[in-house]
A and B are shown apart, each in its own frame.
Chain A
Amino acid sequence: MPAGTLYRGREGMWSWVAHRVTGVLIFFFLFVHVLDTALVRVSPEAYDDVVATYKTPLVALLEYGLVAAILFHALNGLRVIAVDFWSKGPRYQKQMLWTVMGVWIVLMVGALYPVLGHAVREVFGS
């Protein structure tokens, strides 16, 4: 038997958890991004070498994950702003979350080709 159960929160709690997780992931990306961009000051050749590795299919998949995290964080951020500043925001938070998820799915489908197209051609041939 488990040692104390997880609190069974609803949409609000899980959107907050997802907002935190995506926020931390984006922070790690920014950390790496500042480092690799700063590399150009060290040596342009080293910078080119590092950026060349970003063209591999695995990194393309990571980039798609990054798009997912940023889109959710941005859209849910707008929902949180509405909850904060719109007097009816707290009452419509669930509907706003489902709207966020709907827009997120549409944008994720839209990002499939631009982000993963190159990787797919590389893996499966053109």
Chain B
Amino acid sequence: MRVTLKTRARAKPRIPIEAETIIPQNFLQKNDVRVYEGNKERKLEDIFFITIEGPAVSPDQVEIVLTGDTGVIKRVGEYMNAGRIIVEGDIGMHCGNFMSAGEIIIRGNADSWLGREMRGGLIRCEGNAAHYCGAGYRGEKRGMRGGTLEVLGNAGDFTAEYLCSGEVHIHGNCGDLPGVEMRGGVLTIGGDCTRPCGNMTGGTCRIFGAAHQFLPTFRRNGTEDVEYNGKRCRMAAFRGDVANRGKGTVLVRED
């Protein structure tokens, strides 16, 4: 089944749509799917032109395609556990929160909290991701716990904050403090960043560009060779953050 949701013009286009209901399992039956526009609950057809093609008997056979002015639509794919979502343009905050399986492809940019507290599955953003990509929730000790999150462009600050397990791969640059409070999993940054991995207690962060303002509380621990994009790279290895328990590994490209 292919569900296409094309946005309608709205009187107040800046008001975000809260759309945690847009997940494959909700389109199996002809459910009354509703979303919020600000404080007003709306029917899905008030916000989108909806086309449904083909049948599906299980959520993994459902593919949702979002097109149009989708940059302020929040929570798409939250708690998704099967199927596929394709966003033709940009997507709003919290896309793929808590998702446990399935696939989300974003052709444009993603707003903050992409894949927050993700448990499994795959998110691939072909543009840039804003802040807190692959991060946790306020006050919660564990952030992303599984799955793969890939951003082909750049990501903002606090990428993979509280990363616990799973993989975050930013092909471009990251902002400030990627991997901060990290405790497990693997964070890969293809480009540059500042102050990586402050206060990390576990996990591995690999940086193939420059790590600016590198914190003084990481202990040099030899060198390692790592393969990245088919090339062998010589990496300076560090253990830290010794301001904390210091059981994490940071690898920064040397050559």
The answer to whether A and B assemble together is no
